[in-house]
Amino acid sequence: MKNNGCKKGFTLIELLVVVLIIGILAAIALPQYQKAVWKSRTAELQTLTRALMTAQSAYYMQTNTMPTSFDVLDIGFACTSSPELASSFGSDDGCVKDNKYGLFIHGDEVGTMFIDGPYATAGFFGRTIDNSEGTLKGGQMYCFEITADLGFCDKIMKGTFIGASSDGFNVFKLP
């Protein structure tokens, strides 16, 4: 016998409610996921900067000169040479790591920056020795932004604005 009163499947309204709930959950979860990804990338960038600072300092202590190339530094990661990046910073050498980060050497400074995403043109740099004005200390890491009002150094990293560099970068002291 057939039972015609038995309901099989879902109604259109029920399906729409499920899709709406999934959409709301996705709208809440996606920004949190993106925030976690950028925190992870920022931590990786800071680690790269510290590794470069350590390698530069070791090279300086051995030779009493500043390195002019990544090739002479004792670093445990590979990067692809980028003359374009170096020239944009007026740097001695530049390279790209994992198509996400730009690295540069400029005199007694080494630095890293994002080359894609919402914080492209922001990053970190460190010095081996104090600068002549005494505002930037050797062995310290600083945050910089090339693009004005990017918000990475002050809003995300909670840095304190120090001033603009001679190259026009906004420089921030990290907490």
For the entire predicted model, the pTM comes to 0.80
pLDDT of residue 10: 85
pLDDT of residue 133: 66
pLDDT of residue 121: 87
Both tokens assigned to 61: 């202590």
DSSP string, 86-125: HHHHT-SEEEEETTTEEEEEETTEEEEEE-SSTTTTEEEE
Are 164 and 172 in contact by the 8 Å Cβ rule? The answer is: no
**3-state SS class at 1:** coil
User: How buried is residue 102: exposed, middle or buried, by Cβ count under 10 Å (0-12/13-18/19+)?
Assistant: buried
pLDDT of residue 50: 93
| Cβ contacts of 102 within 8 Å, gap of 6 or more | 82, 85, 94, 95, 96, 112, 113, 114, 115, 123
pLDDT of residue 48: 93
pLDDT of residue 86: 84
Are 138 and 128 in contact by the 8 Å Cβ rule? The answer is: yes
Angle at 84 between CA 83 and CA 85, to 5 degrees: 90
pLDDT of residue 16: 94
Please report, in tens digits, the pLDDT of each residue of the chain (175 residues total).
455 666 678 899 999 999 999 999 999 999 889 888 888 999 999 999 999 999 999 999 999 999 988 889 888 888 888 888 888 777 889 999 998 999 999 888 899 999 988 898 899 999 877 766 667 888 899 999 987 777 899 988 999 999 887 777 899 999 8
- What is the chain's Cα-based Rg? 24
d(CA 139, CA 118): 28
d(CA 7, CA 1): 15
pLDDT of residue 2: 57
